[in-house]
Amino acid sequence: MDELRPAILSPDHAGLARAASLLQRGELVAFPTETVYGLGADARSGRAVARIFAAKDRPSFNPLIVHVTDRKAAERHVRWNDTADRLATAFWPGPLTLVLPLKDGHGIASLVTAGLDTLAIRVPAHPAAQQLLRAFDGPLAAPSANPSGRISPTSAAHVLAGLDGRIAAILDDGPCAVGLESTIVGLSSDDPVLLRPGGLAVEQIEAVLGQPLLRRSEVSPLNAPGQISSHYAPAASVRLNAQMARPGELVLGFGPVVCDLNLSPTGDLAEAAANLFSHLHQLDARGQPIAVSPIPGHGLGAAINDRLSRAAACRDIV
Ligand code: TXA
Ligand code: MG
């Protein structure tokens, strides 16, 4: 792969046109979404998608999320159903990914789905992501734009720090508002399953469905290979539910506590979600162990605790 510095593009007419033309040529372009920055490639091109795995050093071919402009575009690739309809009406565009069966003539490169017969698909709300999808005029496969096993990027600077020399361009439109990856719901079997907690609270989804989501642990071996426990690890060690710092530890706080960085001094979970990855990036750069204050488990707290427990997990698993 060429050791080139990525072009840093603005989300204006010229920047979007350049980003779209790089993607059309099979290059990789990182772009902002409301959740985290994605590393985009043409989802119809196996050659382009292969570059994503190379740039991220993904140890195995985990399936990727495909991004499209709207529900109509999604219906070109997957077999739609009533539940998808209700969730898309309520939450698209937004931080929700649906996993649905691929339909005949779907046109998606098999590397995107790692050979599965389902596709993870979402409609991002971020204006620059929407404009890029329209300028590109096709589906974009995009995992989070970080090296495999590292913290997801919520700014262009995070992307550059992780992937400099490996991608063609970064579309820079400032920090991501939600700050956590999308919530993933599996709709390819009878009952909807929560495959990954994320930027849309599970309670909101269950309110629309009028039923609880099954949890992954309740379903037979599920196909979400990206869910290995060390997936969101910073380089430093992470200790959860810490009431006090031990000598040498940096404290990532929540609520009115003494700490090095605070996710939300007022205890606001949406603010904490938006700050989570950038605060972890900042503390990680200082090279000391990190202790994290207790964080409630409701609403976005479920996804925050999920990411933190992965960050704290043993790193022996690649
Ligand atoms: O917010 C997000 O979802 C971000 C932005 C860029 O859209 N993307 C993201 O992608 O987080 P990534 O690759 O880091 O995570 C995708 C997750 C992985 O855990 C993968 O295993 C799962 O989605 N996944 C993809 N396709 C799947 C499928 N067909 N069935 C089950 N899980 C799937
Ligand atoms: Mg990721």
Tens-digit pLDDT profile for residues 18-32? 999 999 999 999 999
Q: How far is the CA of 246 from the centre of ligand 2 (A)?
A: 30
Three-state SS at 238? strand
Residue 151 has a CB neighbour count (10 Å cut-off) of 26
Q: What is the mean pLDDT of the chain?
A: 92
Q: Is the CB of 189 under 6 A from ligand 1?
A: no
Two structure tokens written together for 250: 């940096």
- Report the predicted TM-score, pTM, of the whole model to 2 decimal places: 0.89
Least confident of 3-7, 19-23, 136-140, 142-146: 3-7
Best mutation site among 29, 34, 65, 117 for ligand 1 pocket (most ligand atoms within 8 Å of CB): 65
* 122 CA: nearest ligand 1 atom: 7
**Angle, CA of 96, 298 and 212, to the nearest 5°:** 60
* 97 CA: nearest ligand 1 atom: 3
Q: How far is the CA of 258 from the centre of ligand 2 (A)?
A: 31
Two structure tokens written together for 118: 């389902």
**Angle, CA of 58, 59 and 62, to the nearest 5°:** 65
Tens-digit pLDDT profile for residues 208-238? 999 999 998 777 554 444 454 545 678 889 9
Cα dihedral: 125, 131, 134, 139 (round 10): -50
Residue 197 has a CB neighbour count (10 Å cut-off) of 23
Q: How confident is the model at residue 60 (pLDDT cuts 50, 70, 90)?
A: low
Two structure tokens written together for 53: 């795995």
Tens-digit pLDDT profile for residues 230-268? 456 788 899 999 999 999 999 999 999 999 999 999 999
Q: Is the CB of 177 under 6 A from ligand 1?
A: no
**Angle, CA of 245, 250 and 254, to the nearest 5°:** 75
Q: Residue type for 115, please?
A: G
> Where is pLDDT greater, at 291 or 225?
291
The pLDDT value recorded for residue 54 is: 87
* 142 CA: nearest ligand 1 atom: 6
Best mutation site among 144, 158, 183, 187 for ligand 1 pocket (most ligand atoms within 8 Å of CB): 144
Distance of alpha carbon 81 from alpha carbon 57, whole angstroms: 35
Q: What is the mean pLDDT of residues 51-72?
A: 90
Q: Residue type for 318, please?
A: V
Q: Is the CB of 113 under 6 A from ligand 1?
A: yes
Tens-digit pLDDT profile for residues 164-194? 999 999 999 999 999 999 999 999 998 999 9
Distance of alpha carbon 233 from alpha carbon 239, whole angstroms: 12
